Amino acid sequence: MRGRTALVTGASGGIGRAIAVELGGYGADVVLVGRDENALTEAAAEVQARGGTARTIALDLTDAAAPAKLAEQVGEVELLVNNAGVAPGGPFVESDPAELQAMVALNISALTELTGLLLPDMVARGRGSVINLASVAAYVPAPGMAAYTASKAYVLTLSRILWAETRGHGVRVVAVNPGATLTAMNPRGTRTAEQVARRALGALSGSGPEVTEGRVNAVLGHLVDQLPARVAVPLGGWLMARFG
């Protein structure tokens, strides 16, 4: 990655920031994207302290025009990290429609469009990687987080298919499924953003379409995924309420 461009969305904090900083240690040219310009500047300084170069782009990816603007501004990308996302909770029937639309725009639409804009060039070059931050929630249909868990299931499924479509072209697409991670979005997390970042970048040297961070998370996620829906859904709700 030394001297090559890595684009990280949601880089102003949490897992995205940790991945950006970790990439600095590889000597990458890291483009940090997020809404909080001050936080991006602080994160960029950490990237530079680790030996990388850093550029910041303050951008709201829920804006329909944002992915195309971003792709045009950045140019050739060696690694795309689709990390930006939100996790609204509560019963679906009590959800704010505007909040749900913003979640779909960020968790699904922006990720899909940005990947669609950058992936063809990677295939044409015969080189490049995409890391999509899904979640162990992709395996766990959880009442109280209906839209969020569904969005992460989408990310996981898309990643699996893109992995299959591009693996013969020198391109690596992988979904990373963190469990409960200690971030501003989830103060009850049991894993650190730095642990997830190391697992995410380590996944680039693997061969499969997905990795789950944390052994317990992997076992629980895949176990729930194999259960009948009438068992998995209530259990998923309990797990998400208990561990977040």
Q: What is the pLDDT of residues 65-88, one digit of tens each?
A: 999 999 999 999 999 999 999 988
Model confidence pLDDT, tens digit, residues 135-180? 988 887 778 889 999 999 999 999 999 999 999 999 999 999 987 5
Instruction: Indicate the domain borders of the chain.
Output: 5-243
Cα–Cα distances (Å) from 164 to 55, 82, 157, 202, 210, in that order, read: 32, 18, 11, 19, 12
Sign of the Cα torsion 144, 150, 155, 161 reads positive
Question: DSSP state, 163?
Answer: H
Residue 44 has pLDDT above 70, yes or no: yes
Whether 231 shows a pLDDT value over 80: the answer reads no
Distances 133 to 9, 34, 168, 202, 229 between C-alpha atoms, Å = 10, 15, 22, 14, 24
Provide the mean pLDDT of the chain.
Answer: 88
For domain 5-243, which architecture applies?
3-Layer(aba) Sandwich (3.40)
Asked if 175 and 155 touch (Cβ cutoff 8 Å), the reply is yes
139 is catalytic: no
Q: 18: which residues sit within 8 A by CB, 6+ positions away? A: 192, 193, 194, 196, 197
C-alpha span between 152 and 111 (Å, rounded): 11
Residues 2-37 have pLDDT tens digits of 889 999 999 999 999 999 999 999 999 999 999 999
Catalytic residue, from 26, 139, 148, 154: name it: 148
Supply the pTM of this predicted model: 0.87
Residues 6+ away with beta carbon under 8 Å from 174: 129, 130, 131, 132, 159, 163, 203, 204, 206, 208, 209, 210, 211
Instruction: Give phi and psi for 39, each to the nearest 5.
Output: -65, -35
**Per-residue pLDDT, 193:** 87
- 214 or 222, which is more confident: 222
Distance CA 179, CA 174 (A): 16
